[in-house]
Each structure stands twice: as structure tokens, then as C-alpha cells.
Structure 1
Amino acid sequence: MTVDIKVIAYCTVFGCALILVLYKLLRVKMGFLRILGICAVLCVFEVTGIDFTISREKILLGSSGTLTMRCDVTETDIKNIYLIQIRRLKSTTLSGSDPNDWQTLALMEIGTNESPTLTDDITAVAGTKDYVAGGSWDSTTPANTYLSLSINIEKLVCDDARVYRCELIYKSIIIETIIDAKENATFSAYAKPQVTSLVARKNGSIVQGMSPSDMATSEVGDELELTCTANIGSFPGTVIRWNRTSDSASDDEFIIYQPPLGTFDDGFAVSDNQCGYTRVALLKYNISVADANMDNNLAFECYVTVSGDPYGNSTTTENNPKFYTDVYDFITLTSSTIELSTYQPLNTTGMMNGATAVEVLYPLALVVCLFACGIS
């Protein structure tokens, strides 16, 4: 028969209370200090067993490092250890009250697997998660026994943030009963922010321009509409931000751009039903003469910055999509062309019923010359 450690705890408390009541009411011939001593031993028995720890309470998915779970035997009242194992709930929707709700990841078992072993149902995915089992089985001094499980954090996903359990089955020296001790632990997973797309429209039509070598073409008066979609991490209050090129920077340098009121929409944070949120932001921008007069091409970038534990001071998305456009001021160019045309040589204009400038000015010059000679 296997007895749950919680059952023993309840029985211990009830037993102590019953002994004290009997002593008080029936004056049982047993020294009061002796009764307290028995209760003390039982209470010590109640609170010992195993110590289950997880190395991190919060995990930033996609980051580097190792998550380690360790189950240490702390019970001294052990005659034999039969089994020590690390398990987890098969689904986050299960309560764990049913033994079938649990999936065993690693174990050590008397007589068969006294070395740390990954179970058959987890070996199939051990390579994808980089599971590594560790530990030590000490039959001489059972309190030295421990079992550990290490996982590569880069391989973790939101669904891995479940309830984990250390379970120890052993035989007690004091009560000669098989005890089943359990302790649960968990960690929280946080999604890493990432910009997934940037779509550009000019005057309502989708245009290309995602690189300097494939720029769009715009003119003064055009309206740009940029739609940015991003996984914003695990904090729903995080918004999408914008950068743009400036006249004093090179094409690859961007500065913070704060859109004027009425020209942007932050959208809504939508849960991905795991541990992250998605947001779609909209930016509208009217091309101006100043944009046409820039030394650089006009370009925009959207990005996400998240701060707070476990993101640190700030975590900013990298390799964000950008939109580039070359801007022309066709109105100014047309005006300049017209202005220049007024200074063309006169021989290209029709004067005096189609006569050229030479035909008009030559006789006049001849009359002036003859007049001057006559005067002299």
C-alpha cells in the first residue's frame, strides 16, 4: 500500500490533537513532555520529503541559457527508495488530480533504471528540446539521492510553461509504510517581440520599396499608408513604434519618428492564446516639398521595444522591415521648365509675321550705320 504524504500530514496533526485531548480529559498515564516529544517527531516527519526547484521563474523564449529542474531527497526516514521522477501536466488545461494527467520526463527506479533516464514518451522529442537527465542514486544514504532535468531555453515554447512535479516513492523506517511524496513547481514563459510584416500603400494602392535597391517612387502630395504587424511580446500594453530617415543622416540611419495626432492608429493587442500578443499599427504620411528636397531618400521603419522582467531594461526587435521611396516635386520641375523656356534665343520665336531676329535687326543696324556716317 502506498500512502500519500499529505494523508500522513493530516493524520499526524489529527493524532497529536487526539493525544493531547486524551491527556487532558482522561489523564492518561503518560508524561506531558513525552507526548510533546512524540508530536514533535511526527511533525518533523510531516514537513520533510523532497525539495523540487526550477532554476528560473521567468523565461524569455528564444534567449540563450539552460533551464534546470532538480529534485533533491531531504527525507531521513527512508529505508528504501523505489522511484524518483520528474513529470509535467500533459496539458495546461488539466488539473492534475488524475494520475493520467501527468507525463513522465525523467526517472530513476530501483533495480531497473538507477541511472538518470529519459522516458520513452519524451525521448522522441528530446533532440528538439535538448533534454538532458542527470542525478545520483545513493541506496546507502538515500538523502544524497537527486534527479535533475536540463532543457535548452532556445528550444522552449509557450506551451512548455506547465506545472512540473517531482515525485518520490519510498518506504519509511518509522512506520514501515510506502510513502508517495510529491512537490510541484512551475515557470512562466514570455514571448520575444518580432515584427512580422510591413505593407506600404501609395494613394490606396500597394507599392513595393522594401530595400534601397527596390525603392518606390512618390511625388509631393501623395499619401503613404504603412501597415505594420508585430508580435509585441507578453505585455499587451506594448505598442509599435516608428523610425524614419532624416536629412542629416545617411540612407541606413534612422531617427525616432513621432507621428502627429490623427495620422496613426496603434491598433489592439490580440492574444495568440499562448503567451504572446499581436498588434497591427497604421501610419499615414503626406509627402511634402521638404521630403523632395532631402539629400536622402525618404524611408520608414517599424519596431517594438519591450522592457521589464524578464526583458531587462529593454528588448528591441532586430532586422525590422523598412520602406524606401524616392520623392520628386513635379510641380516645381514643371515651373522651372516653363521659366527657362522664356529665356530661349529669339530666333526660335515667331516675330513680326514670322521674321527672325536677324531679319529684323540687320536692316535696322544698317540704317543706324548710314546715319552715323552721314553725320560724320
Structure 2
Amino acid sequence: MAHNTTFCLYRYDPLDRLATRTPLAEAISKVFYKADVLVTETQGGVQRSFFQHNRQLLACRTVVGKSSSVSLTTNDLQNSVLSAVKVDQTDAFVYTPYGHYQPAHHLKGFNGERPDPITGHYLLGNGYRAYNPVLKRFNSPDNLSPFDRGGPNAYAYCAGDPVNRSDPSGHEFGDWLSAIYIGAGILTAGIGLAIARSSVKAVFKGVKVKPVHIDGVPQQPKTRPANKTEKLSATVAVGAMTAGVLWTSAFVVRNVDADSPVQIALATLAVSVSIPTLGFRGYSFFRSEAAKRAAKLAAAALPPPPPRPVMHSVAVQVGGSLRLRSAGVRDLRETRV
């Protein structure tokens, strides 16, 4: 079976974005960006301008010489172009779950990304990495894998879930909302675990007071009730651990069923618990720091203690022997008897 081979030279700008595309024996194609979004492409005497809101394509205007035409587009929730309408023509587009389709009119396609007209691959991240919708994977590994946003599989696209996720930068295997869930859960749970044990124990069992020695006999240790600061710390600990559980639950539900209303309810409840918890934590921290500074200032304001008397030893010879006597700070001299 014969294969057609096309040679094409790709060049990038100083920001590592695709700048030109030069197919063999064809005019050079130049692309221009605004805020890292493709807005214009020129090739020979043809100019295409893309009008969009955020990542949603609204229209494409093509100018050839003195004539021009406009295509209006419709999109789905993932910004995939579903149809293009001209004055005398309407085209509809259907995609496989991984984004393969027959491109036309040089429009954007799956998830609002424009396929390369030479290879049919999506050059995500403005040319950073080529995604092959037929092989359902990237052509090159992610430099943020395996321990960063790229995930453990350096070639996977959207962690195997292209229906519910997208990867416009060519880096992210998940979405930012999932990252927020994980980060908020770890943060709040970490705060709770750090202060939970001592604070909750102080509320329920009291705080041990150092025993006092009376006539050399140690007394039994006593306990006192928790003060306001300790009660506040216990509240923060319980709230932080509760928020951590809620964030984790919302993350799990979102990954099992992204459209479930339960994850929205869990996330809302987690936010309502996290905000006052973090506020109380900040208040408790600044309150303890203020108490420490006040104690240091009070200690610095106290007068210095009086000096202790210095004792000297004086040698006195009595009957051929030497004895040591202690005296205060006086002008004493050695006495010979």
C-alpha cells in the first residue's frame, strides 16, 4: 500500500511557540498569538482570523485577495466545534472519544484545539507537544512526568479520560479543580493532625499542672481546665480534620462521577468548614505570638537582681597549722599568730 510523504519545516519563536510552518514546495504559513491564543494565520495570499471568547471559537474570517468569507461555529461544553455555517454551506463535525475527525476549513476542532493541517495531530501548548488522536497518545514524553503535573505515564492523554478532561497545555493529566481538592484536603488535614492530639486532650482531660514541693515532699500532680486558647486550638483541629475528609470525599466523587451533584455539595460544605477553620487558626497563631512578645517585654522591664556577695577564703596560721576561714568582701590580709 502506497504512502504519501510530505516534508514540512516547523519553526518556533523565543517563547517556544509554533511560529511558522513550511510544507515542501508550498507557501510559508505564519501564526500569530494574543495572550497565548491563536488569532491569525497567513499563508501566501490567504489570511484567516479567529474570533473567540476565552477558548470558545465563535467565528473564522477568511480573506483571499479582495474577497472574504465568514464561518460561524457552534461548540459543545468542551469547546469542540460541532458545526460551521457559511452563507451557502453548513458542515457538521463528529469526533471519536479521543478527538479524531475529518478537519475542514482550517477551523479549531476537538476541545477547542486546532489540528495540524499536515499531520492531523493536535499541537497542544501552541506547539509544545503533538497529540495523535488515532494512537490516542502523545508523540513525545512530558517533561513534567512522572512526579509533577504530567502524571506517571509520560505519553498518556488526560489519564485515559478524554471525555471529561482536556489538556490544552500538553502538561496536565487532570484538571485544576482536582488539584485544588487534593491540595485543600492535605492542607486542612495536616493542620488538624498537627494540633489535634494535645488540644483535644486538654479539653477533655484537662492540663496537668507541675507539682509543688512542700517541706521537701512532692505533691500529687493536679490538672486545670483548658483555657480559651486551648479550646480554640481544639476547635481548629476538629474543623481542619473534618474539612480534609470533605475535600477528599469530593475529589473521589468527582473522579467517579463528574456530573454528580454530591461532589458539588461536598465541595461547598468543605469550603464552609475550611474558611472559618483557617481563620480561627490564624487568630490562634497571632494570639499566641502576641502573648510571647508581651512576656518578653515584661521580663525585659523587670529590674536586674541585686549582686550576690562574693566570699573569699583567708588562710590563718594557728599553732603551726593552716585553717581556712570565709569572710565577706573586706580588705582582709593574711594574719600570722
TM-score (norm 2): 0.24
The higher radius of gyration belongs to 1
Query: Which of the pair has the greater relative contact order for Cα pairs under 8 Å at 6+ separation?
Result: 1
TM-score (norm 1): 0.22
Structure in which a larger fraction of residues adopt strand: 1
